[in-house]
Amino acid sequence: MNASPLPGRFDTASPRPRVSVPRHAAPLVSFITVAYGTGSIIVDSIASLVESLAGSDIPYEYLVVDNAHAEAEHRTCNHLLLATAGVRVVRPGHNLGFAGGCEMGVLHTSGDVLAFVNPDVLFEPGWLEPLLRHLDDPAVSIVSPVLLEPDGSVQEAGYRLFSDGSVAPILEAPGADETVRPDYASAACWVMKRVEHERLGGLAPDYFPAYYEDVDFALRAAALGGGTLVVGASTIVHLHHGSTDDSTVPDVSRQRRTLLELWPSVARVQPQPPA
Amino acid sequence: MTSAVVLALLRPAKASRHPIIAETERRVVHFELDKRLPGCKLVLRQVGESIGPWRSFDGGPWPGDRAVAIADDVLWHDDEPPLTALFGRTIDPVSTDVRSRMLHFLGLLGDHASTFDDQRLEDLLKLSITPTDLWLVVGQARQVTVSDRAVEALRGVPEEQAWLDQVFDEIARSVDVS
C-alpha cells in the first residue's frame, strides 16, 4: 500500500485534443471517473460530457483516477494524453478499486457537488440540471439519471435489493416529470453534495475491488435520513462493461456476503427475491 | 440569512491543547453550522477569553445572529473518541468508522502518522481535505509538532479573521452586561 497521500498527478494537454475540458477556478461540480485499464471509450465519454454541458453555465472539473492495471498500465493514460486537454489525472500507482478510487478523487477535487461517473457512460444534453435541482432536498443523498442501453431501452431506473442480497434493476422508467425512490442506483452515475458525502463517511473499502459498495453507501444514506432518487428527466447511456475489455459477468458472491454481514437488517427488512 | 454566529466553548483553555487541534475543531463546528446556515461566520471563544457574558445554550436564540454558548459536554467528552463526541449530534459514528477505514486504505492514516508535523500538514492541505479527515489524521497522532506559520495556513486568509474579530466585538458590545 502506498503510504503517500500524494500520488502522481498531472493535467492533460494534448497539442491536438479531440476534447478540451474548460478550466474553472472555482468548479461547482467535480466529475470523478475511476479508470482501470480503460481504453478509448473514456475519451468518448468525456467528449459527450463536455458537449452536453456546452450550453450551460455550470463550472466544473473532470478528474480521472487511473488505477494501476497489471496488463495495461498506461492504456488509459495514453488515450487521455493523446486526445484530451484539461483533464486532471491522478495515478495512485496501484489498484485502489472502485471505492478507493472514488475517494482518492474526492480528495483531489474541490467542487461542492460530486459526480461519480463511469468511463463508459455517454451523456445526453440536459442530463445534469434536473439532477442538481434535487440536491437541496434533505431527504435525498444521491441523485441518479435513468441509465439507458445503447439502443435506447431502459437499463435501470435504480435497483431493488432483496433479503438474500441479490438485486434486480427497475426497468420501468419514470416520466420526464417523475422520480423513483429505489433501494439504490448503480454508481455508474451518482451526483451528490460534498457535505453529504462527508456526513455519510464516503464509500466503504470493504468491497474491494468493486461492486456492492454502492449498495452499502445507499443503505447508510437511507439509515441516516437520506436516500436515493432517480430522476426521469435525466437520461444517459451506459455501455455495460465498457470500462475494460473484460466482458465477463463478474462474480460478486463475496461482496454480497460482506453486505449481508455488515447489514444484517437486509435479511429482515428487504423483500424475498422473486421466484 | 444569518450573517454571524459566535459560539463559545465553556471550557478553560488547556495549555496542552495544540492550536492546530483547536483550529481543526473550529473548522468542524463551522462545517456543521454552515450546513444549517449557509454562509454563516463562526468564532469560537473559550471561557476566560470572552469579552462579554454569553447567553445560555437553552435560552439563546440559536441559531441566530447573537452570541451563544455551547456547554462543554455537548461537544467534548474526555472518555470518548473525540470525533464521535464532536459529531455525536450530527454525524453517525458508523460514518466516522467507514471514513477512518477508508483513510487507512488510502494511506492517509497509518503508523507513519504517529507524528503530525509541518510537512504532513502541508501535504494534506494540497488535498481537498475535509474537516472529518483532518480531525481523524490529527487525532491519530501521538505527537503534534506544527509551527505557528503552518497553523496560520490552516486558519484561512487574515482578512476573514479580521472581519470575524470585528463581528465578534460588535456582538459582544450589544450583549447586556448587567
Residues A181 and A203 occupy one common structural domain:
yes
At B80-110, the pLDDT tens digits run: 444 433 443 345 678 888 998 999 999 888 7
Q: Does B110 touch chain A (CB under 8 A)?
A: yes
Q: Does residue A229 lie in a domain region?
A: yes
Residues A33 and A52 occupy one common structural domain:
yes
Which of A1, A107, A224 lies at the smallest CB-CB distance from B128? Answer: A107
Domain that holds residue A226: 126-186+194-239+251-275
How many A-B residue pairs are in contact by the CB < 8 A criterion? Answer: 81
| pLDDT(B54) > 50 | no
- Give A33 or B77, the one with higher predicted confidence: A33
pLDDT (mean) for A135-147: 95
Residues A116 and A139 occupy one common structural domain:
no
pLDDT (mean) for A152-178: 96
DSSP state of A84: E
pTM beyond 0.80: the answer is yes
Residue B21 confidence class, pLDDT cut points 50, 70, 90? low
Task: Provide, rounded to the nearest whole percent, the portion of chain A with pLDDT above 90.
Answer: 85
Residues A61 and A144 occupy one common structural domain:
no
Which of A109, A201, A205 lies at the smallest CB-CB distance from B128? Answer: A109
A145-159, A235-249, B15-29, B131-145: lowest mean pLDDT where? B15-29
Domain of A116, CATH number, reads: 3.90.550.10
- Give A125 or B48, the one with higher predicted confidence: A125
**Cell 483531489 maps to which residue?**
A108
Residues 6+ apart with CB under 8 A from A101: A34, A35, A36, A65, A67, A92
Question: Last residue of a domain, which of A120, A141, A171?
Answer: A120
CA of B23 vs chain A CAs: smallest distance (Å): 19
> Which cell goes with A124?
445526453
Residues A95 and A133 occupy one common structural domain:
no
Q: Are strands A167-169 and A159-161 parallel, antiparallel or unpaired?
A: antiparallel
For position B158, what pLDDT does the model report? 55
Q: Does residue A9 lie in a domain region?
A: no
Q: Does B115 touch chain A (CB under 8 A)?
A: no
CA of A229 vs chain B CAs: smallest distance (Å): 21
Residues A168 and A224 occupy one common structural domain:
yes
pLDDT (mean) for A126-153: 96
Say if residues A259 and A164 touch (Cβ distance below 8 Å): no
CA of B49 vs chain A CAs: smallest distance (Å): 31
For position A259, what pLDDT does the model report? 96
Residues A88 and A222 occupy one common structural domain:
no
Report the residue of B89, B103, B106, B128 to disrupt the A interface, i.e. the one with the largest count of A CBs within 10 Å.
B106
Residues A47 and A178 occupy one common structural domain:
no
Q: Does residue A5 lie in a domain region?
A: no
Report the residue of B105, B114, B123 to disrupt the A interface, i.e. the one with the largest count of A CBs within 10 Å.
B105
At A230-263, the pLDDT tens digits run: 999 999 999 975 444 455 668 899 999 999 999 9
Q: Does residue A175 lie in a domain region?
A: yes
Number of domains in chain A: 2
> What span, in angstroms and rounded, lies between the C-alpha atoms of A129 and B44?
38
> What span, in angstroms and rounded, lies between the C-alpha atoms of A95 and A137?
35
Strands ordered across the beta sheet of B42-46: B42-46, B5-9, B67-70
Q: Does residue A4 lie in a domain region?
A: no
Q: Does residue A114 lie in a domain region?
A: yes
For position B25, what pLDDT does the model report? 67
For position A30, what pLDDT does the model report? 98
> Which cell goes with A224?
441516516
Question: Last residue of a domain, which of A83, A101, A120?
Answer: A120
Residues A91 and A149 occupy one common structural domain:
no
Residue A115 confidence class, pLDDT cut points 50, 70, 90? very high
- Give A231 or B148, the one with higher predicted confidence: A231
For position A241, what pLDDT does the model report? 57
Residue B48 confidence class, pLDDT cut points 50, 70, 90? very low
Report the residue of A103, A141, A262, A265 to disrupt the B interface, i.e. the one with the largest count of B CBs within 10 Å.
A103
CA of A120 vs chain B CAs: smallest distance (Å): 25
Residues A133 and A232 occupy one common structural domain:
yes
Interface touch B130/A199, C-beta < 8 Å: no
Residues A95 and A35 occupy one common structural domain:
yes
Question: Considering chain B, what is the average pLDDT of its residues?
Answer: 60
For position B110, what pLDDT does the model report? 79
Question: Last residue of a domain, which of A120, A139, A159?
Answer: A120
For position A208, what pLDDT does the model report? 94
Q: Does residue A138 lie in a domain region?
A: yes
Q: What is the ipTM of this complex?
A: 0.90
Residues A132 and A268 occupy one common structural domain:
yes
Q: Does residue A11 lie in a domain region?
A: no
pLDDT (mean) for A138-163: 96
Task: Provide, rounded to the nearest whole percent, the portion of chain B with pLDDT above 70.
Answer: 32
At A41-93, the pLDDT tens digits run: 999 999 999 999 998 999 999 999 999 998 888 999 999 999 999 999 999 99
- Is A32 exposed, middle or buried (CB count within 10 Å of its CB: 0-12, 13-18, 19+)? buried
CA dihedral A258, A259, A263, A268 (to 10 degrees): -110
pLDDT (mean) for B59-83: 39
